[in-house]
Structure 1
Amino acid sequence: MNVLIVYAHPEPRSLNGSLKDFAVRRLQAAGHSVQVSDLYAMNWKATLDAADSLDGAAGERFDPAQDSKRAYANGRQSPDIAAEQDKLRWADAVILQFPLWWFSMPAILKGWVERVYAYGFAYGVGEHSDARWGNRYGEGNLAGKRAMLVVTTGGWESHYSARGINGPIDDLLFPIQHGVLYYPGFDVLPPFLVYRTSRVDEARYADVQAALGERLDTLFSRAPIPFRRQNAGDYEVPALTLREGIAPGQSGFAAHIVHPGRDQVFASEQRISSLTEG
């Protein structure tokens, strides 16, 4: 299988650098083909602007969406953008690896997303009507591929727990996993997380490496996060709010993930209610 690692850390001798090198070796040893987009080493341009089209802005002012659409449709994108899109087409799985800086990905990786995810490639795809609202959230040009985050952070695991001061890690990563990855169609695997990076000694590094190795070994077999599909019936279209009776009593990020036990109980209650009323 083909695996693309999009890597964002400025220091090759860092913990991230070591884990990235280990991941490449592990995947290749398992017979996979691997490409790495090392954004700092590539001196990746992070800012989305009119120069992303070989023709510049179409009008008197730069329109990020429409100029992106025109450049993508006409094969007039900046070569670095087109090259990364080719890597995404090639990949069966994509790993985004980065340190958690100020509760999100580094700016250079965000810039990779903004520039590579062109209109017509990662968004603006499919029919928009009262029946469906584009091919997204489980559909899209990247459907059928897998994705996983490898994230390091200096904070303790407890700081990112359900009642931790930094907020639950699943909530912090939701915009990346559900938005950046699931939106254009990826099946998103649970993230691989390393906490308290300043306290990784030789013994703990061996444990981290072993755990990452196990996750890489199951990259194509582990069950993805069961996000709800936009066009599968859970959402009112075009409002795109959950239908009445879906995830009752829930709101926020967790409502957009299928919880089998909870959903099955509700479905059973609905059937019983329907039979009683009948």
Structure 2
Amino acid sequence: MNVLIVHAHPEPQSFCASMCSVATEVLQAQGHTVVVSDLYRQGFNPVASADDFGTRKNPDYLTYALEQRSAYEAGSIDPQIRDEIEKVKACDLLILSFPLFWFSVPAMMKGWIDRVFISGIFYGGKRIYAQGGMRGKKAMLALTLGGREDMLSAGGVHGELAAMLKPLTQGTLGYVGMDVLPTFAAWHVPYLKPEARAALMEQWRAHLAPGFEGAEPLKLPDLTLYDDAFRRKG
């Protein structure tokens, strides 16, 4: 299996970075090929702009998604974007590794998604969910956060983590056709003692069990229940 880990944490000594390293070690030991895109180390530009396109289909008005499609087909898309697209196309499993910032991903990770998940290849028209351009691939979130598990659960002060992550799990990864595996959340990390951190890392190793045995993908909308305009049938 080819694995792509896209890692976005500004501190290379962070627990999140250690999780990325451990995932690489464990998955390689299982016989998988692992590629890591460390966005901060690479100096990835997270800002989507007209500069992403060497040529423009419409030079007078920027419709970013349409220009993504035409520039990729013309071979004029920013090489940094093209390289990341090819990494995603080559992988069987995509792992997004990041700290939770303001109930979401860091701007660096969001910019990677905005610029790399391009119209045409990843999605477009009726090519979403089970018909998406990345169908057949798996994806997973691996994140760290400061909050306790009880704070992000049913009845917790912030609500459930799964609902908070829906723009990523369904609206991004599932939307382009990937099978979304269960999220691994490393809770309360900045406040844990070394022993608790070590135990948490062992849980991460266990989560990476061969073949993600027994992992049920996220349930996504069943397109057979909708007509060609995505209106509910019946």
Q: What is the TM-score of this pair, normalised by structure 1?
A: 0.79
1:216, CA displacement in angstroms?
Answer: 1.2
2:58 is matched with: 58
Given that residues 95 and 149 in structure 1 are in contact (C-alpha distance below 8 angstroms), is that contact kept between their aligned partners in structure 2? yes
Q: Secondary structure at the match of 1:205?
A: helix
**Equivalents in 2 of 1:222, 1:95: separation in Å?**
18
Measure the CA separation in 2 of the matches of 1:80 and 1:240. 38
The 3-state SS of whatever aligns with 1:41 is: helix
Alpha-carbon distance, 1:139 to partner: 2.4
Provide the residue aligned with 2:102 in structure 1.
Answer: 102
**C-alpha separation in 2, matches of 1:201 and 1:173:** 27
Q: Which amino acid aligns with 1:235?
A: Y
Which of 208, 213, 220 is residue 228 of structure 1 equivalent to?
Answer: 220
Indicate the residue corresponding to 1:140 in structure 2. 132
Q: Distance in 2 between matches of 1:27 and 1:160?
A: 29
Contiguous gaps of at least 5 residues in structure 1: 129-133, 245-278
CA distance in structure 2 between the partners assigned to 1:190 and 1:219 by the alignment = 13
The higher radius of gyration belongs to: 1
1:73 maps to 2:73: yes
Partners of 2:209 and 2:196 lie apart in 1 by 20
Higher RCO, Cα 8 Å, sep 6+: 2
Q: For the aligned residues, what is the CA RMSD? A: 1.7
Distance 1:239 1:34, change over 3 A: closer
Matched, 1:157 2:149: yes
Decide whether the 8 Å contact of 1:57 with 1:63 is kept in 2: no
Is contact 1:98-1:105 (8 Å) kept?
Answer: yes
Q: Give the Å deviation of 1:226.
A: 4.0
Partner letter of residue 180 of structure 2?
A: V
**Alpha-carbon distance, 1:64 to partner:** 0.7
Percent of aligned positions with the same letter in both sequences?
36
User: Partner amino acid for 2:213?
Assistant: S
Q: In 1, Cα distance between the equivalents of 2:57 and 2:219?
A: 37
One-letter code of the match for 1:141? G
The answer for the alignment partner of 2:39 in structure 1 is: 39
Match of 2:122 in 1: 122
Q: Match for 2:226: what amino acid?
A: Y
**2: distance between equivalents of 1:59 and 1:230?**
38
| Aligned residue pairs, count | 234
2-structure distance, mates of 1:52, 1:240: 35
Deviations 1:177-232 (A, max 9, x none): 0011011111000100111112222211221111111111244434333423442x
Measure, in 1, the Cα distance between the counterparts of 2:45 and 2:145: 24
Q: 1:192 to 1:83 in 2, by over 3 A?
A: same
8 Å contact from structure 1 (residues 73, 120) kept in 2 = no
| In structure 1, distance between residues paired with 2:216 and 2:81 | 28
**Cα distance in structure 2, aligned partners of 1:236 and 1:223:** 30
Which of 203, 223, 239 is the aligned partner of 2:195? 203
